[in-house]
Structure 1
Amino acid sequence: MLHFSKVVPVLVGLGLSLGTAPAAWAQSNDATPKYSNEFLNIGVGGRALGMGNTQVSIVQDATAGYWNPAGLLDLKTKYDGVLMHSELFSGIVKNDYAAFAMPLDENSAIGASLIRLGVDDIADTRDLVNEYGYIQYDRIRYFSVADYALLLSYARRIGAIEGLKLGVNAKIIYRNVGKFANAYGFGVDAGLQYERRGWRLGLMARDITTTFNVWSINADEFKRSASTAEAIPTNSSEVTLPRLVLGVGRSIKLPGQFTALVATDLEMTTDGQRNTPISTGLISIDPHAGLEIGYNNIVFLRGGVSNFQKIQTFSGKEEWKAQPSLGVGVATSGLRLDLALSRLAVEKLGQRSQTNSIIVSLGYGFK
């Protein structure tokens, strides 16, 4: 049986080695998009989003299919389901999520997750003016821009190493821009968790084989609205390079019936230099931190911080900003209700304003 002190360096080394290989390729290929399939990096679940997206090492419900499929082996009931709805930018963008998971036996589990991020009812006013030069409002057509992802997950315990669990995702992606374009993609994620003496370690490798989206463009629709100076898009493909998340968490027993769960993640991107606290040509690292205080495993108060970025104010001063989040949760008789509030600081006309995002998720575990 491997000792804890030997497993930790292996996990860290594995994460760094997985990250540097594709990063070298990305550095030599400037055409690789940095934010391909970015809708899959927003996060899911009120608990996770209330804790600053720190879940890789501690997730234990159906949302593990998204955060780290290895966590599916820690389901507390035979069946577990989660639904989530959130709205971004004053309700313009809708983010919806559904997941279901169940164990196959003591050593394996499966799950399925569906994600949709979209903007609906976008007005197409190209035919607003009729052939006689008059505005005719009933000629307005509406369309949606939406991204979809289906994740199919499998997790299994590794008998040779006590406390070690592995999981994989196969994900199918569909992206649609009304009648103008659509894309299909396929990718693979892999994750592991290791638990020892109250400590929980996790490693999640998203798009471990790189993910390709193939775009199909309806050129006729673009020709109707594009001017002669604008290029008509053509069929193309885009690549999503691996993203690695290394996390650690620990539960602490407090006086009375209180408990505390502390977790931190290091999110590592391999598509070149980004605006993060640690940023190089090979890899960029953005830290996350989260805290959950529980009472009698019924009521929970959560907080977290993530998305550290250096911005320049209108005065010309550079300063670091982070995205804070707060959340509350209630769990009883298998039912879980989680609420989260995430706040983005935005500089507007020289004054600081706030953009809030409210997340609501409902989970239920049953035998």
Structure 2
Amino acid sequence: MKTKGILIFVFLIQLVFAQSGRYAASFLELGVGARTMGMGSAGVAATGQVTAPFWNPAGLAMVERLQAGSMYANLFNKLEQQSYFGFVLPVMKNSVVGISWMRLSIDEIPRYDFDEDSPITAYQRLHGQAQQLTYGPVDYFSNQNDVFIFTFARLIPTKFDLGWQYFEIPVKFGFGLNLKYISQQLDRNKATGIGIDIGWLMSLNLNDIFAGEYYGALNFGLNVQDLAETRMVWDTESRHVDRLKRNFKYGVQYSQPLAFLDSDLILAYDVNTKYDGNTHLGAELLIKSLFALRVGSNFGHLTAGAGVLLWRFRVNYAFQGHDLGNSHRVSLTLVF
């Protein structure tokens, strides 16, 4: 008698079985957008980018023009493929809506037949305790992970009266909401869930506070992901449920104009509560609003990147170090 088994990299097997715990739908943590990823994935306090729903939905509140963005990447030595497309549109005064889609997939995973009467078990083969198979796979299957996100963001500009005569500080507040549909398919089984993220962002122009010209801007951001701890229900006989743990992401970003270089220096730092506090640190030097150089640290792994503005197109590149293999990403944004 024969039963079907799966032969695949050990780390993938471990990841699949870990889905019921802290790593459920972990593909969402990859992020999108080469600009932010080149800065160590520190994007919670960033504003005005089409990729904001993945970092902090409140960042969309400060988008002033229609934007469309896309990205494609082969990850972990071409084992996985990541695709992304996003679209944002200002609709009413100080209101913005966005639609985003991201997929992480593994194709052509081989399936083998194992003989239950054989002295060598499937477990031994998967863990390198037996010789390699000398025959080909029976067929192939795939693993696909998708998320569709609808975002609404609202900008509320206001002024703080500090009690000084004729002196008020203008402050911009952004609020954002993500409604996301998550789908994971492994072979013939599928899990789906609906989640909610909420975000808040505050932006201060320090020139208004210190009555100067070269103090730049300071942003603070907060993103609460999977507010209700999203349930992913599998279509198996047991109706197994995975839960996406609530995650708080905090971020700060400072932008300092460098008048002598006709440039801007941006520093960003993020921390989140998931996995005992991941940290992200990044810097960008924007030269004449045309070229950008970036460097960062994504939970201890080196990142770097560059960007160029060509008419209405923003082309960005990011390198990210990783234990499973370094990755390269190129993203394109069109601003109408």
Q: Are positions 1:236 and 2:240 aligned together?
A: yes
For 2:264 and 2:156, how far apart are their aligned partners in 1? 29
Deviation digits for residues 26-57 of structure 1, max 9, x if unmatched? xxxxx971111111011111001100001110
Q: Provide the residue aligned with 1:47 in structure 2.
A: 35
Q: 1:340 aligns with which of 318, 325, 329?
A: 318
- Return the match for 2:283 from 266, 274, 291: 291
Structure 1 gaps, min length 5? 1-30, 129-134, 220-233, 275-283, 308-321, 347-354
Question: What secondary structure sits across from 1:158 in the alignment?
Answer: strand
1:160 Cα deviation (Å)? 5.5
| Equivalences for residues 64-213 of structure 1 within 5 A | 64-77=52-65, 79-126=66-113, 140-158=138-156, 162-179=171-188, 181-197=189-205, 198-213=217-232
CA contact (8 A) 2:173 2:200 kept: yes
Percent identity, please. 28
TM-score w.r.t. the length of structure 2 is 0.78
Partner SS state of residue 56, structure 1: coil
For each residue in 1:262-301, what CA deviation from the matched residue of structure 2 results, as whole angstroms up to 9, or x when unmatched?
Answer: 11011112xxxx4xxxxxxxxx222211000011111100
* Secondary structure at the counterpart of residue 23 of structure 2: coil
Counterpart residue type for residue 260 of structure 1: L
What's the C-alpha RMSD, in Å, of the aligned pairs?
2.1
- Residue 46 of structure 2 corresponds to residue 58 of structure 1: yes
Partner in structure 2 of residue 33 of structure 1? 21
**One-letter amino acid of the structure 1 residue matched with residue 198 of structure 2:** A
State the shift of 1:159 in Å. Answer: 5.2
For 1:338 and 1:118, locate their aligned partners in 2 and report how far apart those are by CA, in whole Å.
Answer: 23
- In structure 2, what residue type is equivalent to 1:89? F
Aligned residue pairs: how many? 277
| 1:121/1:142 contact within 8 Å kept | yes
Corresponding residue to 1:266 among 271, 278, 289: 271
SS in 2 for 1:40: helix
Change in CA separation of 1:75 and 1:345 when aligned onto 2, cut-off 3 Å: same
Return the TM-score normalized by structure 1.
0.72
TM-aligned CA deviation for residue 187 of structure 1:
0.5
Distance change in 2, residues 1:165/1:209 (3 Å)? same
Q: Is the 8 A contact 2:272 2:279 kept in 1?
A: yes
Please report how far the alpha carbon of residue 125 of structure 1 lies from its aligned counterpart in structure 2 after TM superposition.
2.9
8 Å contact from structure 1 (residues 76, 365) kept in 2 = no
Partner of 2:14: none
Residue 111 of structure 1: how far off its partner (Å): 0.2
Matched with 2:210 is: none
| Correspondence for 2:307 | 329
